Amino acid sequence: MLNEKIEKAINEQINEELYSSYLYLSMAAYCAQNGLVGFANWMNIQVQEELNHAKFFFDYVIERGGKVALEQIRKPKHEWSNLIEVFEETLGHERHISSRINDIASLAIEEKDHASASFLKWFIDEQVEEEASAEDMLNKLKMTKAEGAALFFLDQEAQKRVFVQPVLK
């Protein structure tokens, strides 16, 4: 049976993951509306990843005999001044999610819920990749000032990103 505190924290994380997908969908719209179809693709891949993360948490709660309690998803921002701001927010958001997952992992250790601690390891590792991916693109955008031919080539690079269905180990 899933520990009550862990169940509550994971239900909150499900909401955070769903919000993340909603935020990235809003960013995808911003990119597409500004003619940056590659960056829209990059964000749409993020949408898929976050929905998968939410589903992994959802399934885990059920598998452990807990109850999923879905809550309202808050409205995401929909306007940014430029693409650098979009990726600064992306990196900040991924750091926020990392912090939340680390807090749940700490709670699992504190509560001696070793199954949850083991489950959360995949997400901890995943967040390292998520932050690195966002930071890499942000650094490239800053280096080129997100202008001219450099922006065109970065948009083409972002267009090549594909979604790979993750598998929990």
Give the CB-side neighbour count of residue 125, counting CA atoms within 13 A: 10
Question: What is the mean predicted confidence (pLDDT) over 134-150?
Answer: 96
So what's the pLDDT on residue 167?
84
Q: Looking at per-residue confidence, does 82 or 168 come out higher? A: 82
Report the percent of the chain where pLDDT is more than 70.
99
* HEC profile of 6-36: HHHHHHHHHHHHHHHHHHHHHHHHHHHHCCC
Whether residue 73 is predicted with pLDDT greater than 90 in this model: the reply is: yes
So what's the pLDDT on residue 169?
66
Q: Quote the pTM value.
A: 0.95
So what's the pLDDT on residue 1?
87
Report the percent of the chain where pLDDT is more than 90.
96
Question: Within 10 A of 18 (CB to CB), how many other CB atoms are there?
Answer: 22
Q: How far apart are CA 2 and CA 115, in angstroms?
A: 9
**Local confidence band at 168 (pLDDT 50, 70, 90 cut-offs):** confident
In the chain, where the domains are located? 4-159
pLDDT tens digits for 3-61?
A: 999 999 999 999 999 999 999 999 999 999 999 999 999 999 999 999 999 999 999 99
Question: What is the mean predicted confidence (pLDDT) over 59-86?
Answer: 98
CATH number of 4-159: 1.20.1260.10
